[in-house]
Amino acid sequence: MRDVIVAGVGMTPFGKFPDLTLRQLATQATRSALEDAGLPAERVEYVFFGNAMQGLLTGQEMIRGQVALADCGLLGVPLINVENACASGSSAIHLGWLAVASGQADVAIAVGAEKLTHPDKKLVFSAMETAVDLDALDELAGSLYGEGGPPPGDRSFFMDVYADSARRYMQRCNATAEDFARVAVKNHHHGALNERAQYRDEVTVEQVLRSRAISGPLHLLMCAPIGDGGAAVVLCSPQAAGELDVPRIRISASALVSGRHGDTSETAVERAARTAYEQAGVGPEDLDVVELHDAAAPAELWLYEELGLCPPGGGAAFLASGASGLGGRVPVNTSGGLLSKGHPVGATGCAQVVELTEQLRGRSGRRQVTGARVAVAENNGGYLGPEPAAACVTVLTR
């Protein structure tokens, strides 16, 4: 397998853009990434397009990438549509990495885009609910709600899933709602420094806990917002990179796994992380900066543990020590994470790699991690219970 270089990255601001189409978002991100790499579209040999919900929201199925990227000069080469729940973007990068590492292509591009702003928010929530095993939905709902069924409310079913996991985590690790609020405070502080973040406001623990109750211990500011956006990553071989004036940021590992039923001895994220660390020849102690999937604030704490950043049960203490904030031992979610940067589902995995590439290039401005050389992105999606349906861990090195 060959080395794979991140030659260019680009992304749109994340937010609610009712007047922009999926095509416009994908086009902006793609053109920015190609310009960053200094490559014309004609050099791209493979395209992987990550999107999760456009078909359910608009009816545009089957050829979403061909439609979304029609104005980018990429049509004519193999274009593969990738749908893997919230891990669609990272799955597209994984496939692009495989295409280049295997020698099938010298240049590939992974694009993730999602358009979730919609007049009917309940339709968006219904679309999200399809990322679970529908045949087992009644059983899952019974474990969450009991015989009374789901309570009325205008929220994502996934927030009930996260709330249930958060309650279990609180019992297991003595974590508190204040700990979850501190995750939101940290990530909003980082997001305030990111001009592309959906929310750029600082918040306090008190503000988080006073925000609207969503489900169980979760409050509104602990939950990733709905939004729109696109992100793209150009990948190339060392030979192709030699023709370009770009820093040598390398994808040293990419591990994509699916969740499993029953066996909880090692979670999907733990399995993906172990594989990625082995591929890259690094360990969690070597990491300088991390982007992880904080779709709900409590998840950041247990993902610290699953990525090996701290011992089991030590997530809250790790956060409280300041280790995961800017200036700490291993800053986490310097972009603002999903909580502040936003979570346009299909774009999220690509946006994580955009952030980490910019960190390793030293061009992240006020949120720059000094001397960053090793970075990890963790992106997961869907739910099988108790695991996510998909988990991807990517290691980048300078």
Order of strands across the sheet that contains 79-82: 79-82, 46-50, 107-115, 228-236, 4-11, 249-258, 390-397, 374-381, 289-291
- Rounded CA separation 96/105 (Å): 9
- Rounded CA separation 292/187 (Å): 11
- Annotated catalytic residue: which of 94, 188, 219, 343? 343
- Rounded CA separation 220/145 (Å): 20
Residue 361 and residue 275 in contact, taking contact as beta carbons nearer than 8 Å: no
The DSSP result for 21-71, as a single string, is: -HHHHHHHHHHHHHHHHT--GGG--EEEEE-SSHHHHH---S-HHHHHTTT
Six token digits for residue 8: 């260019």
Does 219 participate in catalysis according to the annotation?
no
- Annotated catalytic residue: which of 86, 173, 236, 350? 86
Six token digits for residue 260: 């499993």
Give the distance, in angstroms, between the CA of residue 89 and the centroid of all CA atoms in the same chain: 7
Under DSSP, the state recorded for 311 is: -
Does 343 participate in catalysis according to the annotation?
yes
Active-site positions read 86, 343
